[in-house]
Structures are given as C-alpha cells and as structure tokens.
A and B are shown apart, each in its own frame.
Chain A
C-alpha cells in the first residue's frame, strides 16, 4: 500500500508492530557528528560518534565556507581513519546542481564513491538519480535540504532508493511520531545546534537579501555581506548587504546577523519577529525519540571548531548511552545542560518546533 494511504490509517496498527521492534531491542540510535575538518573529525571519533558527516570543498554542499570541508586526498584519509574506528562516514552533496557546472556535482558523487564513503546525503533529484543509477550499492540519505516533511513526500523519494530521510526542523514531536509510525524508511532528526526555523531547501530569504542562498550558493547569510558599525552610544549595528539586521546596546552580546534572527519592527513592536538567536537542544526529548525508533541524531555544526565538536559529542554520547540502557529512567544530567548552554547561540537553547508551544 502506498505510504500516504497508510499515513491516514489509524496509527494503532503500527503501535503493535512498533512495540515488538522496541521489545526486541533492535532499536539502536546513531550519534552523527559534524566534521568540517580533519581535527574536528578526529574529535568526533575520539569522543564517541557512531558516524560523522563531511562535505567537499566547493559549492556541492550546504556549508560552503572558506577554510572548511575536505578535498579528495583528505577525504581518503578521513575514510581510512573513520573505518579504523569501525564507524561510518557520510558525505553531504546536498545543494542543487547548477546548469553549466552539473559536472561538479556528478564528480563529487564519483569522488565520494571512489574514496569508499559509506553514505551520500543528497537533496537534488538529478544527483539522487545519478547516484542511484551509477552506484546502486552506495547508501543514499535524503538531505534536510529536500524538505521532505510528510509520508507522501518520503514515498516520492523512494524511487531513488533512499533508505533514510533527514527531517526538516519544522515538525513537532507529534508529527515526527506520526511519520515514524507510518514509514519504513529510517528517520534522522536534528538533535542539537543552530536552529533553522524554515523548511530547509525552500528558504530564499538569503538570496532575497544578498543574491546568494543555500540552494544557489551553499550558504545562508554569507559572511562577505556582513558589516558591523559602531553606534554613537558604544553599541553595535549588524548589517547584511546593507540591511540593518540588529542593533545591540553596549552591554549586549552581539550575534552573527543570520537574517531570520534579527530584531525587526512589526506594528509598534520591535522584537525577534521570526526567531531569537538560540540553539536547538532536544535532550529532553531523547527518550521519546528513542521510543519512536529514530535511527539517527544529527548534531549540526560543520562550521564549528574541533573543541566544540569534542564537547558536544561527549555529552550526546553519554546521553544516548543512558537512554539506550534505561529509557524509562532517563533524566537529563545538569552538567550536560551546562556544557550545551555554553556552546549555544546566546547561551540559550530551545526545543524548537518539536515543542508545540514554540510554534
């Protein structure tokens, strides 16, 4: 039966199947950590990541920043290292290919396959089709950039033999649960890191302001468009391509002008009209994500330092080990929250869309 028909059936049918799976103890939850560089990759492995994800230098991935990502020789070295730990390496080739430079995306798939990576994370239908046809044995995961938020969309991508879907950060826990109970494709969710509040891959706010978006240039609110100006009273103004994103008083911490996290005016109020500068933190939801059979928890942050990756990985390793050993009695340790808050935007975290009230 097509998945979207199953989606509308009473989910109680699936509860039974689900509990059986859970009781049988086949429910393993992967900790998937970001690696923008070899030192970050080592930090992730040494601190307990089950898998790491990387990208190539250039425009083929959604973290196209200067000084970040791997070239082909480094990728080969990374694959050797990851496999020596008995872990997996995923490569994100998750932007949308351009017309004249399509070969860059095709080459990225060929290179990743040649390097012996375990998984490709892909969003573009063209790249999915190429990878599925050319490398049928290579595992394909649907990138968050593809914006698959429902069972019918997941069904669509099955034609490319996608075995896992990374869910956008717009779904509530209730919606994640409903999906988990209706699809036989593995689900991966974002567990921690920068909070993107829009359906990824369908957000053009960045190109509206700067001409460059994640889809067209592999970056949101690109750094070359950022300008900081001091104000007369000792504060700071942040601008993106000339547009005022936020004003900070002298005693306020000024954050990067990601355009959806600025303070704007709506009616008579000036506030974070779209989102506060906070980070996503799903520690509190861990038992529920585990119970729903979520295959993988993704830590955002290929642009982060090795030290950041080490600390985050350590906390999440402990948390996942706890929940897998005794999901019923899992509690969030205070010291985990202290570490995570210290690594968060504005030292604040949120459950984001997973928590209905956030919406």
Chain B
C-alpha cells in the first residue's frame, strides 16, 4: 500500500507551503500532489514555484504529480491549465475533463481526480483508454461499490494498467460553486474578496443552529464538516486501493502519515475523535462515524 499527500486544499501563505514541503521531502511518503485545485485567484505560489518544489521532491525520491483546477470557468484559467499540461516532466492530475482534452492531444498519461464522474465499469474503461493511469475514487463511493466495480471482468482484465487511489484522511471536498462562500461569510463580493481565505488555513466552520459541524467553507469549495478518517479501514483496502491519500492540514500531517503507515494491517487502530467520520466507505451517509469494536478487529 502506497501513501500520498493530496494538494493543499486551503490557501496558505507561501512560507507555510514551502516549509510543509520541506518536511514532506524528509518524510517517507510515496507520492505528492502539488498545485492549486480550488481557486485561480490564490497565487501565493505560481506554476514556476510548484515546478521547483516538484523537482525538489523528486530529488528527495518522491513520485510527484501536478494537480489542476476542478471548476474551470474563464479562458485565463484554461491558459494556466495548459502550462501544467505542457510541463513536460510530471504527471498531471486532471480534476476536470478539460484537462484530459489537453493531455490527450499529446497522448500523455494522467491521474483522474475524484471530481471526474466515474461510477461504473464502462466509464472507467473509457477513461483508462484515454490514458488514465491512476483513478482517484469519487468521495461518495463505498468499499462495496468499489469492490463490485473492480470485480467486473472488463475492469479486472485491465487491472494492471491502472492504480486506484482513495482520499482517506481530511475534510472531503463535496461541492464547487460559482460563488465564494468564504467571501460571503465576510460580507464581501467575490470580486472584492481580498483573498480572505488566507485567514482560514483550515477553512471556516459551518455549524447547524444546534451545534453540529455540518460543512467547512473553503472559498468556492464546500467541504465535509467532519474530518474523514479511514485509519481503521486500511486493512479492508488491500487489493482494492493501491494508494491512500491524506489531505494536508496545518498541523500533524506527518504524524498522521506515520499513524496510517503503522496501521496498514489493522494492528494499531485508533479511536476516532468526535468530529471525524467514515460513513461513505461503509456505505452510509458521509457524516456517519462507526466506531469499530474490538470484536470486529478480530474478525
């Protein structure tokens, strides 16, 4: 089982990003995704900066992918996307089919991000045919759904042509909008947002009127209010999930990487915190947390 760090989903100051990747370079993570995937106005780091960090990480022995925007609306965003697709050295994670159009022109392989809408064997085969080498499973799919899909003969017969990856730790990206909710939370128009996301390195919490954390606002992205944490389900992923993704947080990302690596076979389970969930993987509502009992560990 391999482990990866997904792209930083929040808007962090440049120094914080640089410092994080210095730590990552020294860690034993297998793969790192770099790049802005949420909002094109966030430009603390530019393409050249990510490219330089990518080279640094590669020299440190990491596999590196450049991750791209999910909601592409403006021609200027397509121009920026093209730079990533034309980078010439690193594999690209396509989070919109627009990127696949560009990559397919050059017959380049790619990672298919979780926002691509792949739910069945026929779609999966189509994307593999277009050059998808790794498939990041949509957040809402369960273990059962994935197992069914992978056991279909038309998928099983090409199973050595692609890898699967699952975001198993972090607040889940659940929606993208034309509207910026962080700007709205500060009573600002999107055009005058003053990049206020930078004040919220973990996003902004949204709670129900009776105190349940329902969402996290991250600019135009809405995330799960709970932190998804499948540390206790890793043992059920063997053969289904080739790479386990952790979403970077301002603190303890490397500590969580070590915890995940140590519990690959379920020998070091952890009690989930109150604000964590694992429902999607267990075929339940995403926000549900099922606390595994010792009996289930032995079974």
Contact = CB atoms under 8 A, between A and B. Distances in A.
A317 to B, nearest CB: 28
A203 B73 CA distance: 17
Interface in B195-234: 204-210, 212, 214-215, 217, 222, 224
Interface string B172-193: 1011111111001100011100
A98 B120 contact: yes
A202 B117 contact: yes
Given A97-B119, A153-B101, A243-B214, A211 B178 contact: no
Given A2-B105, A201-B117, A266-B206, A152 B78 contact: yes
Given A4-B102, A198-B222, A204 B117 contact: no
B100 to A, nearest CB: 6
Contacts of B204: 266-267
B108 to A, nearest CB: 14
Contacts of B72: 149-150, 152-153
Query: Residue among A147, A151, A208, A243 with the most chain B CB within 10 A?
Result: A208
A329 interface: no
A18 interface: no
Given A152-B101, A153-B72, A204-B175, A264 B206 contact: yes
Interface in B75-130: 75, 77-79, 81-82, 96-102, 105, 115, 117-123, 126-127
B139 interface: yes
A358 B181 CA distance: 11
B205 A152 contact: no
Given A126-B120, A156-B100, A265-B207, A151 B177 contact: no
Q: Which secondary structure dominates chain B's binding surface?
A: mixed
Query: Residue among B71, B175, B204, B206 with the most chain A CB within 10 A?
Result: B175
A204 B123 contact: no
B238 to A, nearest CB: 20
B279 interface: yes
A99 B145 CA distance: 8
A8 B209 contact: no
B201 to A, nearest CB: 15
Contacts of A265: 206-209
A243 B75 contact: no
B73 A150 contact: yes
Interface string A79-102: 000000000000000001111101
A96 B117 contact: yes
B98 A4 contact: yes
A211 B284 contact: yes
Contacts of B214: 209, 243, 264
A243 B149 CA distance: 31
B19 interface: no
B209 A172 contact: no
B117 A124 contact: yes
A359 to B, nearest CB: 4
A204 B101 contact: no
B98 A156 contact: yes
A89 B283 CA distance: 37
B177 A199 contact: yes
B74 A175 contact: yes
A124 B175 contact: no
A213 B96 CA distance: 20
A198 B115 CA distance: 13
Contacts of A187: none
A125 B123 contact: yes
Interface string A104-118: 000000000000000
Contact of A202 (B78, B115, B123): B115
B287 interface: yes
Contacts of B185: 266-267, 269, 273
B102 A152 contact: yes
B286 interface: yes
B280 interface: yes
B285 A211 contact: yes
Given A8-B78, A211-B283, 5 more contacts: A98-B145, A130-B122, A152-B81, A205-B222, A209-B286
14 contacts: A124-B120, A126-B123, A150-B96, A170-B178, A197-B178, A201-B117, A203-B176, A208-B174, A215-B140, A243-B212, A264-B207, A265-B207, A273-B215, A359-B178
Q: Which 9 residue pairs across A and B have the least CB separation, nearest first? A: A152-B98, A126-B122, A170-B178, A208-B286, A353-B178, A359-B190, A96-B119, A156-B97, A153-B98
